[in-house]
Structure 1
Amino acid sequence: MGGQRLLALLAIKDGTANRASAAGTLWPEATSARAVANLRSVLWRLGKACQGVIDASLYDLRLAPHVAVDIGQALSIARELLDRSAVLSLGRIREGLNCNLYEDILPDLGDEEWLEAERERFRQLRVHSLETLSDHLIAVGWHGAAIEAALGAIRSDPFRESAYHVLIKAYLAEGSYLEARHQHLAYRRLLQRELGLEPSDRFMCLLDNAGIRGPHAGELPAAGQDHAQGGVAPAPYRTGGDARSQRPLPSGPRTWQGSSAR
């Protein structure tokens, strides 16, 4: 575990860190001498198990040049997605689909204090990026992948209106009007139940702008009534594809099922 923590620290520090700083970060409750000794022990064990992974000098630690860090690719793609002035090629959009924008940083590592700020920073970055990626995918007609990206943003922040907004846009773009209406109602119920609020006017106009009749503010039907009218029974969400998408959405109606268009 000590080796994994050290590699994680170097990965989020762009591959390099001062030895004393790394020791103090990983063992904040130990004395300086004890922390430095712990670091030496971890480096020795890593050298036995994964030779050549870390280049260690007297003062600094550095990931070896041949070590690839997936968060680096994800950050690069995310920043490019958030640059609204950039024109993305189909190749870069495909890279956005394939890089890991769906998971937090090292979720299995536990509640490391030094990781919390980085995790939250990356979570915010990837949620915004997934919404923007979904918009790009809608524009090129990859509707299934656009829906998956929007659902990824919702899994990270179930109350995020902009994520539901782009999800509904994707359903409307592929002609799934009933699913768009179901998700619209599901988000309204979620806000009403948990916060006692209605979505913004922009969100409320989504269906009207598409020519779909939906209940206005104060006219929200009871759960299940919209399914009865549409002839579709509610069901929990499950996508096909890889394990990262095998998670239920917050309680709500059924959404798109199928593999992504990667």
Structure 2
Amino acid sequence: MARGRRARGVIDARPPAGYKCAMPAEGVRVRLLGRFEIEGIDTAGVRSRKARTLLRVLALAQGAPVPAARLVDIVWGEEPPSEPADQLSVLVSRLRAVLGAGRIDRSDAGYALTVAWSDLAAGTSFLEEGERRLDAGAAVAARAAATAARRLHRGPLLADEAGAEWVGAERAAAERQLLRIQHLLAAAALASGDPATAAAAAEEALDVDPFAEEALRLLLAAHAAAGRKAAALAVYERFRERLAAELGVDPAPATAAAQLAVLQDRPVPGIAVGEARTAWSEAAAGGAETSAGRLVGRDAELAALDAALDRAVAGDPGVVVVEGEAGIGKSRLVGEWTVRARARGAAVLAGRCDELGRALPLQPVLDALGEHLAGLDSGAVSALLGPEAAVLGDPLLTAGAMPLPAGAVMPVSSDGVARAVIAESVRRVLARIAAHPAVLVVEDVHLADPATEDLLTRLRRHPPSPHLLAVVTRRSGEGRTPDASLRLSLEPLDLAACAQLVGDVEAPGLHRRSGGNPLLLLELSRAGGAADIPESLREAVATQCDRLGPAAATLRAAAVLGPELDLEVLAATLRMAPIVLLDHLEEGSRRRLLV
């Protein structure tokens, strides 16, 4: 045989020159979900494709022996070598040279890789524990378990073996596990009062299995819990049409019962929905009001809003954007000012954007319009709607301006032309309302749907009435920046304002700890100056952190490591490239979660 050549079916078992085992001989930690990895070992040292396949087969067995005959069948397929047992032994020897001699055992039952941990097994454990805790009523613990399980699913099982038939059954089982995890996360989020997270998990489950009726029922319950009846009914209708078109069947009785419950404003059967958990934005809206009912440190901003209303009364409309970090008091300021605006005789229409509202175009504006019309008699409603009643009738049913007929189903079109028609109809109704001075308040526009963003732009550039003033709030650095005739950026409270809220004695220490953020200040004050951060505040910060996606884990780790950030320590801790961490830290700084 010529030097450097190999006979057909014969494998060179020698490890690469200078290659050393990277770990001691205890069991390995393997990641099977997504790209295959063995923690602490560079599997690039396994250069043979057949050896890599063998390693993945053994890893997938998670410590159980795999018969030699099955290994030969998977590795060589229809062209096995003349001496399959010998060649299999050669492959195993090559793997042992990379992994460590004691990590692959041979017995009468076959070969087994010693596995100390796998993401697949860990995910199963988290899932089962979460389901057990949810059944026991521990929704928060169940949600934590579901979140941990979901994070382990980085992608399809053994994504490196995308076309391999031998992994098909296990990959399908992993997809079923992911579906259960998503169902658990949605159910636990609903039970703990977080419909936005529940909806996201349910939608992700429907992406995995478009016919998963349990996921659909959870999604209906999430939309209903957030007050988005039209979104729930639209989702159900699309699902029903898909079932009929592709499978020729109707939704299951339990799913039809869920839709009927939404129509009748009843809880979805079999799904627990808890009270809304404390969220940063909600706490910010009410926090300052609970402090002796005083709004402090915002006299200049109140005066600016008064002046904007003066201009609208005089025929000069505008859009005012009130922006600032979470907890700075945007909602509290606007809420205080709208009381003054009503006292001056202005009509005030108020709506709020949220994460679920993105499912329906113009939902916050329709909510505001519907609430306003609901307080009028039928004659006034008809006069204000005019011919636009034919266009806005269905959307306003959900907003509460009209009673919902029994059994009514509200079609919601996603067609761009239909959205434009609805938007123009809303502008015309606003013009009638603003024949006399009127204020449209839209909160949290960083969460606005595109149609609402476009409408606010048109209100600025082409106001429907010279007496209409729009006031919107947004979190700094998030979402699209609206066009504005006036922009009010709320800054932290100074020491004097803090003293008005919490007293001269506590003010210096609490001002230093809170940085002048009203929400932080009041929560710390309620805790009586205790060193520990109040649980409500921890939850609010955690909610904001969770919204940052991949950056959330980086910020949590940075917080644990201490006030002085060591990028090398952080990179080593998270096993991530420093340049990626810098992106995460920049995002945290932009959201004012990192200073």
TM-score of the aligned structures, taking structure 1 as reference length: 0.69
Note closer, same or farther for the CA distance 1:195–1:16 as it changes in structure 2 (3 Å cut).
closer
* Partner Cα distance (1:223, 1:29) in 2: 54
Residue of structure 2 in register with 1:252 after alignment: none
- Paired with 2:84 and 2:407, the residues of 1 have a C-alpha distance of 61
* Match in the other structure for 1:115: 167
Native 8 Å contact 1:104 1:123 kept in 2? yes
| One-letter amino acid matched to 2:262 | L
Q: Distance in 2 between the 1:133 and 1:163 partners?
A: 11
Give the Cα separation in 1 of the matches to 2:199 and 2:144: 15
Go from structure 1 to structure 2 and tell me whether the alpha carbon gap of 1:169 and 1:37 turns closer, same or farther (over 3 Å shift). Answer: farther
- Matches of 1:191 and 1:51, distance apart in 2: 49
Whole-angstrom CA distance in 2 between matches of 1:23 and 1:180: 50
Query: Would you say the 8 A contact 1:215–1:221 is kept in 2?
Result: no
Greater per-residue strand proportion: 2
Residue 13 of structure 1: aligned partner: 61
- Partner residue, 1:241: 549
In the alignment, which residue of structure 2 is the partner of 1:156?
208
Structure-1 residue corresponding to 2:145 = 95
Q: Which of 106, 112, 122 in structure 2 is aligned with 1:62?
A: 112
Residue correspondence of structure 1 range 27-106 to structure 2 within 5 A: 27=75, 28-31=77-80, 34-48=83-97, 50-52=98-100, 55-59=103-107, 60-65=110-115, 67-83=116-132, 85-86=135-136, 88=138, 90-99=140-149, 100-101=152-153, 103-106=155-158
Q: Deviations over 1:133-162 (max 9, x none)?
A: 311111012333322321221111112222
Instruction: Give 1:44 shift.
Output: 3.8
Structure having the higher Rg:
2
Cα gap change, 1:72 to 1:160, in 2 (>3 Å): same
Query: For the Cα contact (< 8 Å) 1:208–1:214, is it kept in 2?
Result: no
Q: In 2, are the aligned partners of 1:191 and 1:197 still within 8 Å (CA)?
A: yes
SS in 2 for 1:68: strand
Kindly state the Cα deviation for residue 175 of structure 1 after the two structures are TM-superposed: 3.1
Specify the alignment match of 1:185 in structure 2.
237
State the aligned residue count: 235
User: Which SS does the other structure have where 2:117 is aligned?
Assistant: coil
- Matches of 2:221 and 2:101, distance apart in 1: 45
Relative distance call for 1:186 and 1:240 in structure 2 (3 A) is farther
**For 1:174, which of 221, 226, 251 is the aligned residue?**
226
Q: State the match for 2:192 in structure 1.
A: 140
After superposition, the Cα gap between the structure-2 partners of 1:2 and 1:131, relative to the gap in structure 1 and judged at 3 Å, is same
Q: CA RMSD in A?
A: 3.8
- Per-residue CA deviation, residues 18-56 of structure 1 (Å, 9 max, x unaligned), is 4514523523434486443443343344345x4339712
Greater RCO (Cα-Cα under 8 Å, separation 6 or more): 1
- Show the counterpart of 1:2: 50
Unaligned 5+ runs, structure 2: 1-48, 267-397, 399-403, 424-448, 452-546, 551-595
Please, which moves more after superposition, 35-44 or 117-126? 35-44
Cα displacement string for residues 51-84 of structure 1 (whole angstroms, at most 9, x for unaligned residues)? 339712343533345x531111112223334557
Q: Does 2:287 correspond to 1:209?
A: no
Q: Distance in 2 between matches of 1:122 and 1:146?
A: 21
Alpha-carbon distance between aligned partners in 1 of 2:216 and 2:204, rounded to the nearest angstrom: 11
CA contact (8 A) 1:137 1:145 kept: yes
Between the aligned partners of 1:180 and 1:89, the Cα distance in structure 2 is 23
Amino acid at match of 2:159: P
- State the alpha-carbon separation in 1 of the partners of residues 68 and 234 from structure 2: 55
CA contact (8 A) 1:134 1:146 kept: yes
Partner AA of 2:218 in structure 1: V
User: 1:14, 1:176 → 2: CA distance?
Assistant: 45
CA distance in 2, matches of 1:153, 1:53: 42
**Structure 2 partner of 1:255:** none
Distance in 2 separating the partners of 1:72 and 1:209: 43
Q: Secondary structure at the match of 1:62?
A: strand
Distance 2:213 2:191 in 1: 20
SS at 1:16 equivalent: coil
The one-character-per-residue Cα deviations of 1:178-207 (angstroms, maximum 9, x if unpaired) are 432332232233224334444242243142
Change (3 A) 1:207 1:10: same
Note if contact 2:182-2:205 (Cα within 8 Å) is conserved in structure 1: yes
| 2:183 and 2:215 in contact (8 A); partners too | yes
Name the CA shift for 1:37/1:174 in 2 (closer, same or farther; >3 Å): farther
Specify whether residues 10 and 147 from structure 1 end up closer, same or farther in structure 2 by C-alpha distance, changes over 3 A only: farther
Percent identical among aligned pairs is 21
Q: Is the 8 A contact 1:137 1:143 kept in 2?
A: yes
Q: CA distance change for structure 1 residues 215 and 12 in 2, over 3 Å: closer, same or farther?
A: farther
Cα distance in 2 for residues equivalent to 1:215 and 1:121? 42
